[in-house]
Chains A and B, each alone.
Chain A
Amino acid sequence: GESVGLHLPTLSVQEGDNSIINCAYSNSASDYFIWYKQESGKGPQFIIDIRSNMDKRQGQRVTVLLNKTVKHLSLQIAATQPGDSAVYFCAENITGRRALTFGSGTRLQVQP
């Protein structure tokens, strides 16, 4: 994944607004993608996943969009809440590999 050192990209939104977090991936062989949420001092928590044969998948307050043409993944969070404040990572699974490859994270800060 890309290295961003200690300075994660940060998205700051107002409580109640919608949030969009973006992720670029580079391997066209990737066929499965996951978004994880990680709070300070905790392990990554599964949010939503999508397979490469889909363009969009919706969960509760979250939507993942996949654009294979430009190798882009986004996570949309509706009506963002203070509890959504965390670092968000996208991860990809490359066909034939067991491991997930994580991208660089984005810190989401929700202002009350």
Chain B
Amino acid sequence: DTGVSQNPRHKITKRGQNVTFRCDPISEHNRLYWYRQTLGQGPEFLTYFQNEAQLEKSRLLSDRFSAERPKGSFSTLEIQRTEQGDSAMYLCASSTRDRVSTEAFFGQGTRLTVV
């Protein structure tokens, strides 16, 4: 499978706990995005990496959220002191600067439930 891979697929955590999600983009895709999607809504942009540099962050990304892409390949998204409002699907997408279009390929997401 050469698509975008996200782990875990599902995560249930207690309020106040920290969680970390991982995204493995398509090989050689230097652009990586994190989005959050709540039920019935379209995905909302969280943050963007070009190689290992985090170049853009949304206002949605509070201080409890941190994302890294240390080697310009896989990325992690950590949420500290989770709150019930963090329950959502967290989507990762990747794209390549070599494409004329900016289409992004999405992974299947990590569904987070905070209880």
**A98-B40 CB under 8 A given contacts A43-B107, A43-B108, A46-B105:** no
Beta-carbon contact of B106 and A1 below 8 Å: no
Closest to A101 in B: B45
- Chain A residues with a Cβ closer than 8 Å to the other chain, count: 29
Number of A-B contacts (CB under 8 A): 68
Beta-carbon contact of B33 and A99 below 8 Å: yes
Beta-carbon contact of B91 and A105 below 8 Å: no
Interface positions of B from 55 to 93, Cβ below 8 Å from A: 55-56, 58, 91, 93
Residues of chain B whose beta carbon lies under 8 Å from any beta carbon of chain A? 4, 6, 31, 33, 39-45, 48, 50, 55-56, 58, 91, 93, 101-109, 111
Residues of chain A whose beta carbon lies under 8 Å from any beta carbon of chain B? 1, 3-8, 32, 34, 36, 41-46, 49, 89, 91, 93, 97-105
